[in-house]
Amino acid sequence: MILKENYSRLIKEKALKFGFQSCGISKAGFLEEEAPHLENWLKNNFHGEMKYMENYFDKRLNPTLLVEGAKSVISLSYNYFPEQEIEKKGNFKISKYAYGEDYHEVIKEILRNLVSELQLEIGEFGFRVFVDSAPVLEKAWARKSGIGWVGKNANLITKKHGSFYFLAEIICDLDLVQDLETTDHCGTCRKCIDACPTQAIISDKIVDGSKCISYATIELKNEIPDYFDGKMDDWIFGCDICQDVCPWNRFSAPSLESKFRPNLEKLNFRKPEWKDLTQEIFSEIFRKSAVKRTRFAGLMRNIELASKEN
């Protein structure tokens, strides 16, 4: 037991040292509570054309199928809230998480360095690191580990930091001390539900992804349905509305990670510059950005749709 406690404490100390906001631990196993919710979400086609969500159903619910001998899920959060926002008034908008470099690469490198340092002190152990790119129910594990609660907009929220952070996991074969879940503090607040221009938040903690602006501008590769006409609110990559109106995000503080600082060229862009974007400029400016996911053609499609509203 002493070894478990020492390892757990060491992991949390190292996580803070490497820049993570929060670190919680839960026991690896089958997510019995989440299973029917995921099944119903898929049956209702709330994932739209994100067909990859239908894959690896069992692995999404059981990390021991992803990492042989897994005993613990270490959940971590990393702040990305920008020091300076891109001008929104009379401008096109992109999600704050895409202001800087692609978080998948940045955080995965930090995780690998964290694990390497842990192994120097603990010894070798089996593990895999995950950053939003594998069949892992990140919010479920973060909730179980006590990092925060799942809000009505289906984002993970904390009293101290709000929700502008990335989630990551280290699934490992270390036997660690499990943390306790926190309580829900959304209360009767409906700000995120009422603010969503596409009514994507259909009930408490359930989002119809196929109606979400982020889905339309990032995940959807085909033509954007007429449903979104007049509802884009100038968003061309992602959407932060439900987070911007969340009262808990008044506690958001700027990220200390230099790689997440806003690209100065993006900060200076206004509608004329966005509309005149070329493949060459796109490739240069968004080379290390998550925006490259939508590709040049996809971004120009989004700009064209958003422009119809003006």
Q: How buried is 174 (Cβ within 10 angstroms: 0-12 exposed, 13-18 middle, 19+ buried)?
A: buried
* Contact indicator for 279, 296 with CB cutoff of 8 Å: yes
* Contact indicator for 176, 25 with CB cutoff of 8 Å: yes
226 is known as an active-site residue: no
Axis-axis angle for helices 103-122, 2-17 (nearest 10): 140
The type of residue at 136 is V
Per DSSP, the residues of 227-279 read GGTT--TTEEE---HHHHT-GGGGG------GGGSPPHHHHH--HHHHHT--H
Closest CA to 23 of 98, 87, 103, 115: 115
Residue of 102, 132, 173, 229 marked catalytic: 132
Catalytically annotated residues: 132
